[in-house]
Amino acid sequence: MRERVQEVLRGEEAWVVGGAIRDELLGRPIVDLDVACREPEAAARAYARGGRGAPFQLSDRWGAWRVALDDGRTVDFTLLRGGIANDLGTRDFTVNAIADPVGDGEVVDPFGGRRDLEARTLRAVSKTIFEDDPLRLLRAVRLEEELGFRLDPATERLVREHAPRVTQPAGERILDELLRLSADGYRRLDGLGLLAPLGGTVDERLDRSGSPGFRLVAVLGSGVERLPISNELRRFARALLAAEPPADGSARSIHRFRRSTEPWSVDVLRFLGSEEHVAAVQRARADEPSEPLLRGDELGLPPGPLIGAILSEIAEERAAGTITTREEALELARRRAAAAGDR
């Protein structure tokens, strides 16, 4: 990526900035590149020329363009306003405020970012970083986790002072940061006063699964639906929050529980604190018949909800072991159809 940037911006003032420089100095893999230059759109289109990626505008306000590469990496081109020192002064933490010229020249580090990298410290570039972009409140905790760093005392005080602002960013941005946090990350949010404004609380459920979605629901509860979550995560959240544990460990109870909670039955059990039934659910999954005893078009009934009800009962009785053959299923279906006709 760096070579292509040098090719595109040769002879122009341009700097590689932000996380790429930080990660390079830390010996971490460089996934994405952030380049400050005078004409971001032209640079992005030139970089992408020849099928090297798809360019699109990332932010009209900041004049930023992104090139999405086929391997999932990205190259961002942002507008260099004034000199590089001014640009770095608008960034969040000193470790992200280091710039390396695309061509020849010396690394620029006006805020002591390399010193803070060595000290494994996150220090605010200025006192206004959280006013300028409140998402940085969440990013501070995420970077602590990802880098194994710690906020310096003055920056931590700034976080606590500006904690009420944590709800101000767009929901998509908040969601992206929260989904990247571990259980300890949520506890850190809570300790800094950032979780309560989001409607979140921490309890023992937080540690019951390694799933990011599970942790999000454990912390936010039904409030998770205030964020722009996917339909899949919404269904998952509702399954966790609405379910009741199995009445007991019988095959019938496990079947009924699975019918209302799959494909998330094990996660639901953990959420409910009913891990004693996990093995039974896993056995039921392993023993799940590959084919039903009967299909709806074999019942000889007109379309309607009765067909679904009969098939569900057949599946439950099969799981409970009271019927095992097609003939037994047909007999049960005839009895239920007859009883329905008598009503």
Is there a single domain that holds both residue 183 and residue 238? yes
* pLDDT of 60: 74
The secondary structure element, H or E, covering residue 228 is: none
Sign of CA dihedral 45, 48, 54, 57: negative
Could you tell me where the DSSP H helices lie in 202-325? Answer: 212-220, 231-242, 251-261, 265-272, 278-286, 305-320
Is there a single domain that holds both residue 128 and residue 60? no
Is there a single domain that holds both residue 221 and residue 301? no
Global pTM reads 0.88
User: What are phi and psi for residue 265, nearest 5 degrees?
Assistant: -60, -45
* pLDDT of 147: 96
Instruction: Judge whether 64 and 77 are in contact, CB under 8 Å.
Output: yes
User: What are phi and psi for residue 125, nearest 5 degrees?
Assistant: -65, -35
* pLDDT of 14: 93
Is there a single domain that holds both residue 149 and residue 262? no
Report the number of distinct structural domains present in the chain.
4
* pLDDT of 261: 97
CATH number at residue 76: 3.30.460.10
Sign of CA dihedral 3, 48, 88, 154: negative
* DSSP state for residue 200 in the 8-state scheme: -
Contacts of 164 (CB under 8 A, 6+ apart): 197
Domain stops at, among 119, 145, 163? 119
Cα atoms in the Cβ-side hemisphere of radius 13 Å centred on 265: 21
Is there a single domain that holds both residue 38 and residue 129? no
Is there a single domain that holds both residue 31 and residue 43? yes
| 131 token code pair | 């006013």
| Domain, as residue range, for 310 | 296-342
* pLDDT of 340: 79
* pLDDT of 343: 55
Is there a single domain that holds both residue 80 and residue 26? yes
| Residues of the chain predicted below pLDDT 50 | none
Domain stops at, among 92, 119, 146? 119
SS3 102: coil
Is there a single domain that holds both residue 99 and residue 11? yes
Identify whether 327 is part of a domain: yes
CATH number at residue 130: 1.10.3090.10
> CB neighbours (10 Å) of residue 78?
23
Identify whether 232 is part of a domain: yes
- Which class for 342: exposed (0-12), middle (13-18), buried (19 or more C-beta within 10 A)? exposed
Counted residue by residue, the chain has a size of: 343
Identify whether 291 is part of a domain: no
Q: In one letter, which amino acid is 132?
A: D
Is there a single domain that holds both residue 100 and residue 127? no
- d(CA 67, CA 55) in angstroms, rounded, equals 4
Is there a single domain that holds both residue 264 and residue 304? no
Is there a single domain that holds both residue 208 and residue 304? no
Domain stops at, among 119, 141, 158? 119
Identify whether 47 is part of a domain: yes
Instruction: Judge whether 314 and 329 are in contact, CB under 8 Å.
Output: yes
Is there a single domain that holds both residue 6 and residue 103? yes
